Amino acid sequence: MFEEYDDYRKQIREFGLKEFTDEVAAKYDRGEEYPDYLRKKSLSLGIVDMQNPAKILIAIEELCRIDAGLGISVTTPYFGAEVLMLFGNDKQKEFLNDVYSGKYVLGLGVTEASGGSDVAHIKTTATKKGDKYILNGSKMFITNGAIADYLVVLARTSDEDKPHHGLSTFLLNTKLNGFKANKLTGKLGVRATNTAELTFDNIELSSEDLIGEEGKGFYYIMTFFNISRIYVAAQGLGIAEGAFDKILEYVKANEIKDENTMFEIADVATRIEATKELTYNAASYLFKFEPRPQLTSMAKAYAGETAVYASEKAMEILGANSLEENVERIFRNAKIMEIWEGTSEVEKLVISRFILKGE
């Protein structure tokens, strides 16, 4: 699948191998610093060809295979764009061009400190006042939070009986008064990515900042996650492949031939192959606008577990050699795959719900 992009894949991999050297990866990992120059460099590759999501998928996979911290940093400044693309007004869609061109960094502000994956119960409010909305509240674990120029933000615009009603999405300019971002440090992995806690203190939003219709925010965000999850699956796949590269490199260099290690190689390889097929297959439905959310959730949950499994296996097989920074970094990067964009637990409920409904 996606063989037609083999050339593009090669091109991306070459870029990654050239730019994501061990030194660069280590530097931004240690310093917890966002590599903005790599974002700019990468733009020339057409990584964000929104007309061609398959290319995005492949870019994510190949770049995360080399280093997930840098790979995600480079492919995530467009995070949230699908919300605007699908539900935004013409001006907002036009604005996206500035995101794609690299002028602006975008982000998505949904998760809150009290909620985790529980989107329906967010507490941030956008209270209507004349033709304005006054935004108050806070957000947690927001990728690009402290570097984004704009954020797609989910807030409560009215109280309804059902908590997932009454939510709306806005395009927030982070230069506005009342916006504060507190960069969070001390992450286990993907430390080159920027993560922040946000507070909104009486930020004045105009009605033009509203995305789509008022009260439909929950639906927009769920639609978005059903798309974005496939990219998380690709991150997980890439990390697993990167871990496997390290295993093979080590086994070949040290001429390891013992049968137990051969079995481990077969097990990891089989799991990665299954991850790849689950991911590509779910993506192919999604990309022809016939999404099958249970397949996407399967791919995401399985890929997350595969990333962790493969990286742990790399550590174990390499033994003391796993302490080498370029291997242990993979291990540290992998864990988040089971957590963000819906924990594996949430995915499993999605899967079983769809199955019991009768697909």
Partner 1 sequence: MSNLNEENNILRDTVREFCEKNLDEKKIEEEKIDNNINSLLASQGFMGAKISSKYGGSELDDISYHIILEEFSKYSPSIAMKIFMINSLYLPSVINTEYESYLQDVSSGKMNVSVDFMNNKYKLEYGNNINGTVENILNTDSENIVLFDGKTTIVNGPFKTREKDFMGFKGLKFGSIELNNKYNVIDKNSRKEKIMEDSYNDLSAIALGIISGAVDKAMDYSRVRTVFGAYLKNYEPLVFRLSEMYSKENILRSILYSNLDKYYTFNFAMNSIVEIARFSVNTHGGYGYFKDFGVEKFYRDAIILKSVFYGNSELKQLSNHVYSEKLTFI
For the record, the structure tokens of 126 come out as 């956008």
For the record, the structure tokens of 72 come out as 């995600």
Q: Establish if 325 lies at the interface with partner 1 (CB under 8 A).
A: yes
- CA 144 to centroid of chain Cα atoms: 11
Give min distance, CB of 356 to partner 1, in A.
Answer: 16
Q: Which of 250, 322, 341, 350 binds partner 1 (CB under 8 A)?
A: 322
Q: Establish if 339 lies at the interface with its own copies (CB under 8 A).
A: no
Q: Establish if 326 lies at the interface with partner 1 (CB under 8 A).
A: no
Q: Establish if 355 lies at the interface with its own copies (CB under 8 A).
A: yes
Give min distance, CB of 109 to partner 1, in A.
Answer: 14
Of the CA atoms within 13 Å of residue 246, those in its CB half-sphere come to 30
Q: Establish if 339 lies at the interface with partner 1 (CB under 8 A).
A: yes
Q: Which entry of partner 1, its own copies, none binds 176, CB below 5 to 8 A by partner kind? A: none
Q: Establish if 254 lies at the interface with its own copies (CB under 8 A).
A: no
For the chain, how far is it from start to end, CA to CA, in angstroms? 24
User: Long-range contacts for 27-32 (Cβ within 8 Å, ≥24 apart)?
Assistant: 28/69, 28/70, 28/73, 28/191, 28/192, 29/69, 29/191, 29/192, 29/329, 30/191, 31/191, 32/185, 32/186, 32/187, 32/191, 32/192
Applying CB under 8 A, the span of 38-46, 148-156, 196-204, 340-348 interacting with its own copies comes to: 340-348
Q: Which entry of its own copies, partner 1, none binds 115, CB below 5 to 8 A by partner kind? A: partner 1
Residue entry with tokens 């990665």: 272
Nearest in space to 52 (alpha carbons), one of 113, 5, 89: 5
For the record, the structure tokens of 209 come out as 């900042």
Q: Which of 3, 288, 320, 356 binds partner 1 (CB under 8 A)?
A: 320
Q: Establish if 21 lies at the interface with partner 1 (CB under 8 A).
A: no
Amino acid occupying residue 81? A
Binding mask 248-287 for partner 1 (x = CB under 8 A): ----------xxxx-x------------------------
**How many residues in the shown chain lie near its own copies by CB under 8 A?**
31
Binding mask 262-281 for its own copies (x = CB under 8 A): xx-xxx-xx--xxx-xx--x
Choice between 211 and 351, CB closer to its own copies: 351
Burial state string for 65-96 with b = 16 or more CB within 10 A and e = fewer than 16: bbbbbbbbbbbbbbbbbbbbeebbeeebeebb
Active site residues per annotation? 341
Give min distance, CB of 252 to its own copies, in A.
Answer: 7
Q: In a 3-state reduction of DSSP, which class is residue 88? A: coil
Give min distance, CB of 300 to partner 1, in A.
Answer: 15
Instruction: Give the separation between CA 46 and CA 344, rounded to whole angstroms.
Output: 31
Residue entry with tokens 């925010």: 217
Instruction: Give the separation between CA 270 and CA 318, rounded to whole angstroms.
Output: 19
Scanning residues 106 to 145, which ones bind partner 1 (CB under 8 A)?
A: 111, 114-118, 120-121, 140-141
Q: Establish if 345 lies at the interface with its own copies (CB under 8 A).
A: yes
Q: Which entry of partner 1, its own copies, none binds 330, CB below 5 to 8 A by partner kind? A: none
Burial of 225 (0-12, 13-18, 19+ CB in 10 A): buried
Contact residues for partner 1, defined by CB under 8 A: 30, 111, 114-118, 120-121, 140-141, 184, 186-189, 258-261, 263, 308, 312, 315-320, 322-323, 325, 328, 331-332, 335-336, 338-340, 343-345, 348
Contact residues for its own copies, defined by CB under 8 A: 248, 251-252, 259, 262-263, 265-267, 269-270, 273-275, 277-278, 281, 294-295, 298, 301-302, 345, 347-349, 351-353, 355-356
